[in-house]
Amino acid sequence: MIAERLALDGGRPVRESWLPFHRPRIEDDEIAEVVETLRGGWLTTGPRVKQLERELAAYVGAGHAVALNSGTAALHLALEAIKLGPSDEVILPTYTFAATGEAVAYFGARPVLVDVDPLTLNLDPSAAAAAVTDRTRAIIAVDIGGVPCDYDPLLELCRARGLVLIDDAAHALPARYRGRMVGTIADLTALSFYATKPMTTGEGGMLLTDDGRYAERAQIMSLHGISHDAWKRYTAEGSWYYEIVAPGFKYNMTDVAAALGLRQLTKQDRFRAERAQIAARYDEAFATLPAVECPHVPDWSETSWHLYILRLQLDRLTVDRAQVIKALAAENVGASVHFIPLHCHPWYRERYGFAPEAFPHAYQQYQRTVSLPIFPGMDDRDVDDVIAAVSKVIDHYQR
């Protein structure tokens, strides 16, 4: 990384070498499975993709799984499956990644942003209820950092108003809400296998649902709108025959990616346990540190610990969050921010005229958040270094 870093007071950094914010955990069996796939000669969607769909659906307990080339594609096809139209509205939290809102805009529909619970950073069910209109078709809940949303009131709201509940669970494999596995709660659930996510295929995603009609539609639209049923029905025509039933997309997962996913899936419980151990050590160390607040995990939920989002008490510090991240980098510790609320970005600001204070909880919490490294493969010394670096920086800038 950067050749020379000046730590606080010009001293030695807490760590000799750079600790990245995230490093994917790829082991020998993933590498072997990918090599075997390459040698086997079947590179694109094939037996490994089908196997990954079966195994992931079984792991989560979902009725159907459709493998895709991104989590964004899963959100897009979820909204396509419910036939979202240009005059429709979809409610979603402003505190999320770009993909959650853009998938709604793809249809010319309106992404209706709402504020979040300041403790969990997740969609506030009462804010969602207040935003429902005659045009609302769906709610997209996002499990920030892997902490499940409060689903019971959201499910009740959706049932009462005839809305579809979609879970953007890009962070939440594996996570549980009141004992129920994320992926079995909403009508449709989107997973991401991006490089930094709990499970990775490099790039990839999965759409989960118990509704066979949604799954079939997503399957067809993921590959040019070509119907496999029509294909099967007319096999008498020969294996060259196919039928296009709608102008679809090119969202299919490759067998090379699925090879990575098949091995990654077997490790998800172990990876989560490793992240939970790191989180427990952070919680213990930071509980007594002034001017910071540890992540809030409601006792009815089990987080995936995808992210460890530390909150700064800015009124007790002499600097802002950006300076804290800069100081951590000088100690050779990578940190990040999740997320810049959607309503603070130019497209949303200009199109809908949002001021930063339009969603006060999201805006205030955004300014306080620092995501610390939490990935399987960090050893005890790495965790010690993060704790030492955070403690040093906070002590230094404390009021």
Ligand X SMILES: *Cc1c(COP(=O)(O)O)cnc(C)c1O
- Residues engaged in binding ligand X (CB under 6 A): 70-72, 96-97, 99-100, 142, 168, 170-171, 192, 194, 205
Nearest in space to 62 (alpha carbons), one of 209, 268, 269: 209
- Pick the closer one to ligand X by CB: 194 or 348: 194
Output the residue with the shortest Cβ distance to ligand X. Answer: 71
d(CA 172, CA 191): 8
- Take residue 115 and report the two structure tokens written for it: 């504020």
Nearest alpha-carbon partner for 120 in 301, 314, 382: 301
Nearest approach in angstroms of CB 54 to ligand X is: 21
Element (H, E) at 130: helix 125-131
Least separation, in Å, of the C-beta of 340 and ligand X? 12
DSSP string, 141-158: EE-GGGPPP-HHHHHHHH
The helix/strand/coil state of 114 is: strand
Nearer to ligand X, 196 or 398 (CB): 196
- Select 99 or 155, whichever has its Cβ closest to ligand X: 99
Looking at the Cβ atoms of 14 and 91, the one nearer to ligand X is 91
Structure tokens at 192: 């991401």
- How many CA atoms lie less than 13 Å away from 201 in the CB half-sphere? 28
Least distance (Å) between residue 73 CB and ligand X: 7
Q: Closest approach of Cβ 133 to ligand X, in Å? A: 24
Task: State the minimum distance, in angstroms, from the CB of residue 52 to ligand X.
Answer: 15
End-to-end CA distance of the chain: 31
Cβ nearer to ligand X, comparing 304 with 332: 304
Q: How many CA atoms lie within 13 A of 53 on its CB side?
A: 22
395 close to 11: Cβ distance less than 8 angstroms: no
Shortest CB 391 distance to ligand X, Å: 29
Structure-token pair, residue 258: 């699925």
Nearer to ligand X, 79 or 99 (CB): 99
Strand (E) or helix (H) holding 167: strand 164-168
Give φ, ψ of 60 to 5 degrees. Answer: -85, -35
Residue 99: CB atoms within 10 A of its CB come to 21
Q: What does the alpha-carbon distance between residue 325 and residue 6 come to, in Å, rounded to a whole number?
A: 14
Give catalytic residues, as residue numbers.
Answer: 197
